[in-house]
């Protein structure tokens, strides 16, 4: 479904089966430029499709730039990168050095990852969302459904707004690697407009440290009827949890669609340690069962919606570079709401409060210990209480 918002055409794409054909078609139609940022670029059939599309564009004279995160894409074979560069694709790595367990202060910056998933073609079409370049049907034998995830295709002037931070980051990383700094990036970042109905929310460690989190908190504080949040790695701090509980006390329906399958054990059980107080406060919790859930989206009062790369957890809100699209439009918000409600009804398992109270002490202990581990790590990193 395509929606007209502030003069831009927005298409909500669910899962890779809708996203990858659309992305590759736009790359194939590119005449001037293609820019792509991703956390994970996998060496699988989807990675090959996108690689071939980028190579073909570069070979016909299109300027193609690809930025990869040094941790998330660490397993991409060097031969694939060489093929891209031989075809004329410019490839940069964001923090190629990887030291996730080195916590000395002068090395903590290595934990700051490029987690956003953005693409811009000819400064006319853009993509903002949470889908990595990877086959989204997990390899586990009992999974037949794809990861639940979303991306928005944007056609219009907003594509130039989305391109600006990409050009800026390319310039910064190029400078750090002693390559040529782009004057275009500095000019574009300074002069592009935004609209009240449609805006790009960024999270970085300088000017936009809390933009995404504050946008959520502001919308939650103003909510009157309903809050639906679908988030793959949900581990909010005390302020965020308090805001949700306060909304529920005002009579707002609060619905969380969270990960039901264990993907990262400590994170999964730490999230479950929060269930007790949330359920006691009247918040509905549904766990997605069909596959892994990778969505980072929300709809509030059927008017406010966001789709992007930012989880509601310490890594996304305190460390990683993220990008979310904020849409204030009832038609778009209703389309996303319908999709989330369908996922909840078909593939969600509601966690009842009385069921949670009956959980054994060993399971409760695992959850509490997992949360304690994450709190200790965040304290060591110097990010205070969470």
Give the span between the Cα atoms of 367 and 370, in whole angstroms. 5
What is the residue whose two structure tokens read 């969600």? 348
Q: Please pick, among 26, 69, 115, 136, the residue that the annotation labels catalytic.
A: 115
- Contact status, residue 258 vs residue 320, Cβ threshold 8 Å: no
Determine whether 45 is an active site residue.
Answer: no
- Please say if 122 is a catalytic residue: yes
Ordered strands of the 63-69 beta sheet:
2-5, 8-14, 150-155, 125-129, 117-121, 33-38, 63-69, 90-94
Active site residue 225: no
Q: Which of 96, 122, 208, 353 is catalytic?
A: 122
Catalytic residue among 149, 294, 329, 347: 294
Q: How far is CA 385 from CA 65, 215, 218, 378, in A?
A: 39, 21, 21, 8
Catalytic residue among 26, 286, 296, 329: 296
Instruction: Tell me if residue 17 falls in helix, strand or coil.
Output: helix
Q: Is 117 a catalytic residue?
A: yes
Options 26, 136, 204, 301, the catalytic residue: 301
**φ, ψ for residue 294, nearest 5 deg:** -125, 5
Where is 253: in which H helix or E strand? strand 253-259
| CA–CA dist 377, 355 (Å, integer) | 31
- The active-site residue out of 117, 168, 286, 292 is 117
- 349 carries an active-site annotation: no
How many Cβ atoms sit within 10 Å of the Cβ of residue 96? 14
Instruction: Give the Cα separation of 169 and 322 in Å (integer).
Output: 12
Active site residue 294: yes
Q: Which residues are catalytic?
A: 115, 117, 122, 294, 296, 301
């Amino acid at each position: 479904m395509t929606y007209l918002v502030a003069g831009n055409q927005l298409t909500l794409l669910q899962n890779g089966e809708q996203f990858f054909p659309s992305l590759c078609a736009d790359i194939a139609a590119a005449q001037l430029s293609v820019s792509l940022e991703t956390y994970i670029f996998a060496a699988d059939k989807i990675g090959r499709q996108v690689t071939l599309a980028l190579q073909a564009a570069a070979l016909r004279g299109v300027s193609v730039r690809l930025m990869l995160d040094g941790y998330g894409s660490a397993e991409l074979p060097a031969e694939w990168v060489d093929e891209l560069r031989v075809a004329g694709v410019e490839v940069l790595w964001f923090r190629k050095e990887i030291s996730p367990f080195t916590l000395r202060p002068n090395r903590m910056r290595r934990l700051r990852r490029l987690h956003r998933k953005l693409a811009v073609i000819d400064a006319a079409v853009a993509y903002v969302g949470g889908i990595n370049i990877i086959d989204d049907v997990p390899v586990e034998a009992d999974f037949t459904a794809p990861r639940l995830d979303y991306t928005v295709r944007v056609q219009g002037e907003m594509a130039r707004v989305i391109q600006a931070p990409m050009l800026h980051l390319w310039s910064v990383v190029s400078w750090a690697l002693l390559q040529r700094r782009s004057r275009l990036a500095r000019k574009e970042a300074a002069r592009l407009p935004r609209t009240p109905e449609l805006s790009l929310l960024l999270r970085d460690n300088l000017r936009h440290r809390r933009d995404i989190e504050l946008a959520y908190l502001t919308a939650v504080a103003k909510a009157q009827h309903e809050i639906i949040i679908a988030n793959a790695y949900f581990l909010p701090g005390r302020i965020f949890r308090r805001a949700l509980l306060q909304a529920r006390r005002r009579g707002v329906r609060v619905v969380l669609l969270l990960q039901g399958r264990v993907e990262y054990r400590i994170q999964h059980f730490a999230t479950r340690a929060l269930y007790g107080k949330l359920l006691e406060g009247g918040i509905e919790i549904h766990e997605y069962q069909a596959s892994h859930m990778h969505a980072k989206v929300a709809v509030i009062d059927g008017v406010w919606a966001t789709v992007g790369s930012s989880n509601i957890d310490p890594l996304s809100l305190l460390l990683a570079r993220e990008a979310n699209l904020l849409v204030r439009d009832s038609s778009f918000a209703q389309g996303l709401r319908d999709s989330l409600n369908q996922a909840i009804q078909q593939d969600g398992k509601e966690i009842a409060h009385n069921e949670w109270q009956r959980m054994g002490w060993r399971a409760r202990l695992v959850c509490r210990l997992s949360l304690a581990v994450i709190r200790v790590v965040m304290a060591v990193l110097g990010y205070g209480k969470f």
